[in-house]
Amino acid sequence: MFKHRREGEAWPGSPGRNSLPPGRMSVRQQGREPKSDPGGARGPLRSRSPHRRLSLLSKGAAGDAKPLDVFAIAAFRMLKDPLHSIETFSRFLTQHVTISLNLVQMEALRQLVCSARELHARLPGILNLVPLWRGKDQDEDCVDVNDLLSHVKSDLSEMFSRREARLSHPDLPRVRGNPSLMRVLFENLVVVSLRRKSRRFHEIRISSGPKNNTNSGLVTFVVFDGGEWLSLFEFHERELGTRSAAADREDVAAMGLMLVRSIVDRHGGRVWSGLQENGLPCLLLSLPAAEHVEIDPAADTLTVLGETAVETSELLVEDCLATLGHDLRTPACTIVSSVDVLLEREGALMSTEQRNALKRIQRNSSFMLELLEDLLDTMRLDAGRLHLQVETCDIRMLLGDIVEMARLQADQKSIRLVLSIPSAPVEATVDPSKMRQVVQNLVSNALKFTKPGGAVEVGGRSESSGVTIWVRDTGLGIPESERASLFKKFSRTSVRATLGEKSTGLGLFISSRLVRLHGGEIEVQSTPGEGSTFRVLLPSQPAVG
């Protein structure tokens, strides 16, 4: 029923005598020539051993730990969309405002464009942290693909409407894999089809493909939308200021396909381009069947030839921290500062449309920077590399500063922000910067999920057992069924921010871990439609970690 485009010649990603491991993209297939890296493998092209298994990061609370590859995939997924927005509006600015800029503005715009291009080139490097498959993972489960695609269809309903497209998925086989990653896989698979310029039909059809060898334990899925897929296997770098909108859309789709291939590869499958019997192109991918999973007896060991598991884990953490902290954070900071320069000095030379484009870049770059900071904190917490520098301080001063900093955000939404503290000092032994981060996260969330005209109260008091800090809002509230997962990584609730504000999904996880480092607890009480109260309970003598 399906065949390769040329007899005896495999597509990139399809099995071949001299091919890479299933699903793995070579440097050439990604559209880049190998570059020298004298610094020692910090860029996206660094080599890695296929024997590495990225299983655990956490040295502490194992219940909160996630495999490093899951973390890397989630990071890539969250960063690629704001980057796409930054690139789109950067291209608009380079085409329409260069004549009216002075020398300082021209330099700021040049740095903005160069940094966006640098991020575009380096972001795929995160996926180098995704290993080759070596057996069953402890987080794997049976996944109903039909149910999963129904949720994806609902979540992307607006995008389907804008693109005048629809999704069909006749009865599909179940698979075995990490449920979170499977959701990311199929969501990105649909988004790639929706975004790419080569799609010809309104219907995107995902069906089951030809049976694999029963011993392989794999099932095949076929994605068909009438368009060819081969070009997406070639990840091209183009000049940001000269590429067309269609080429830009194709690059975004190619990044989405890279994410799909990494997840499939992580589960021991493969992705390739092929033809149906009628000669029309399609995309095929194979995944482990729910009923048949081969377990590698050595899969539970973490080894790299000649290295211990601890050494390997440390090297992988170093790689990830370097990628997030230097390769991505540095150009993101440059974008933020460049936009600030353009907004401060533009005067009356830019139109409202151009100024709005700058503000969109500012919002997306600020969110990207916030996300990178949260990712770095999460990595350090999981790796046991974040330590407290405690001192005795008056919590009233800390809360007062936070409320003043948040007042502008509250005023923009017409939310009444109240500080409730006693006249007597409220002393606690804490790391001031980390406790500030905790309360800022709680206040920021309260403002995001409170409607205009509502109220947020921030308070603190001394008690016999220690100090209590609380943030109370009259917002949307949280369903009881979703409260248990609030403090997990990348957690999402069904409640949406009142003005569509973005969230990294890591703030509450980081806050809970920081509070626990202080020896304290964080708890939540919430009533849907009425609001929520978050309390931080700090002991008199915190455990210092």
User: Edge to edge, what strands does the sheet with 203-208 contain?
Assistant: 2-3, 270-276, 281-288, 218-224, 203-208, 166-168
Q: Which residues have a Cβ under 8 Å from the Cβ of 375 and sit 6 or more positions away?
A: 71, 75, 324, 504, 506
Write the burial class of residue 199 (CB in 10 Å: 0-12 exposed, 13-18 middle, 19+ buried).
buried
pLDDT at 305 over 50: no
In this structure, whether the domain defined by 1-40+137-247+261-295 belongs to CATH 3.10.180.10 is answered with no
Q: Which of 14-28, 83-97, 218-232, 404-418 has the least mean pLDDT?
A: 14-28
CATH assignment, 54-134+297-386: 1.20.120
**Pair 393, 432: CB distance under 8 Å:** yes
pLDDT score recorded for residue 292? 56
Q: Which of 248-262, 330-344, 360-374, 421-435 has the least mean pLDDT?
A: 248-262
In angstroms, rounded to a whole number, what is the distance separating the alpha carbons of residues 258 and 188? 10
Q: Which of residues 116 and 66 earns the better pLDDT score?
A: 116
pLDDT at 130 over 80: no
Residues 190-207 pLDDT 10s = 988 988 877 888 899 999
Write the burial class of residue 280 (CB in 10 Å: 0-12 exposed, 13-18 middle, 19+ buried).
middle
Structure tokens at 298: 């050595």
In this structure, whether the domain defined by 391-539 belongs to CATH 3.90.45.10 is answered with no
Residues 502-512 pLDDT 10s = 777 788 989 99
Question: 45-59, 69-83, 337-351, 381-395: which has the highest mean pLDDT?
Answer: 381-395
Query: Whose CA is closest to 382, among 326, 317, 310, 437?
Result: 317
In angstroms, rounded to a whole number, what is the distance separating the alpha carbons of residues 378 and 385? 10
Mean pLDDT of the chain: 75
Q: How far apart are the first and last CA of the chain?
A: 60
pLDDT score recorded for residue 8? 32
**pLDDT band for position 501 (cuts 50, 70, 90):** confident
Question: 19-33, 454-468, 492-506: which has the highest mean pLDDT?
Answer: 454-468
* pTM tops 0.85, yes or no: no
Q: Percentage of the chain with pLDDT > 70?
A: 72
**pLDDT band for position 344 (cuts 50, 70, 90):** confident
φ/ψ of residue 466, rounded to 5: 150, -135
Q: Which of 15-19, 181-185, 331-335, 422-426 has the least mean pLDDT?
A: 15-19
Which residue intervals of the chain bear CATH 3.30.565.10?
A: 1-40+137-247+261-295, 391-539
User: Edge to edge, what strands does the sheet with 455-463 contain?
Assistant: 416-420, 455-463, 466-473, 531-539, 521-527
**pLDDT band for position 517 (cuts 50, 70, 90):** very high
pLDDT score recorded for residue 531? 93
Structure tokens at 400: 């007062």
**pLDDT band for position 28 (cuts 50, 70, 90):** very low
Write the burial class of residue 309 (CB in 10 Å: 0-12 exposed, 13-18 middle, 19+ buried).
middle
Structure tokens at 18: 């001299």
pLDDT score recorded for residue 20? 34
Q: Which of 76-85, 224-233, 383-392, 454-463 has the least mean pLDDT?
A: 76-85
Residue 240 burial (CB count, 10 A): 21
Which residue intervals of the chain bear CATH 1.20.120?
A: 54-134+297-386
pLDDT score recorded for residue 136? 52
Query: Whose CA is closest to 345, among 106, 37, 518, 542?
Result: 106
**pLDDT band for position 313 (cuts 50, 70, 90):** low
Distance of CA 105 to the CA centre of its chain: 31
Structure tokens at 204: 């995107």
Identity at 323, one-letter amino acid code: T
**Pair 529, 475: CB distance under 8 Å:** no
**pLDDT band for position 439 (cuts 50, 70, 90):** very high
Q: Which residues of 65-78 are buried (b: 16+ CB within 10 A; e: fewer)?
A: bbbbbbbbbbbbbb
Q: Which residues have a Cβ under 8 Å from the Cβ of 179 and sit 6 or more positions away?
A: 139, 141, 143
Q: Which residues have a Cβ under 8 Å from the Cβ of 275 and sit 6 or more positions away?
A: 2, 3, 4, 5, 281, 282
Q: Which of residues 396 and 213 earns the better pLDDT score?
A: 396
Q: Which residues of 407-435 are buried (b: 16+ CB within 10 A; e: fewer)?
A: eeebeebebebeeebeeeebebbbbbebb
CA angle 146, 149, 151 (to 5 degrees): 115
In angstroms, rounded to a whole number, what is the distance separating the alpha carbons of residues 408 and 414? 10
Q: Which of residues 27 and 167 earns the better pLDDT score?
A: 167
Q: What is the mean pLDDT of residues 510-534?
A: 93
Query: Whose CA is closest to 466, among 428, 512, 516?
Result: 428
In angstroms, rounded to a whole number, what is the distance separating the alpha carbons of residues 545 and 539? 14
Structure tokens at 130: 């995704």
Q: Percentage of the chain with pLDDT > 90?
A: 27
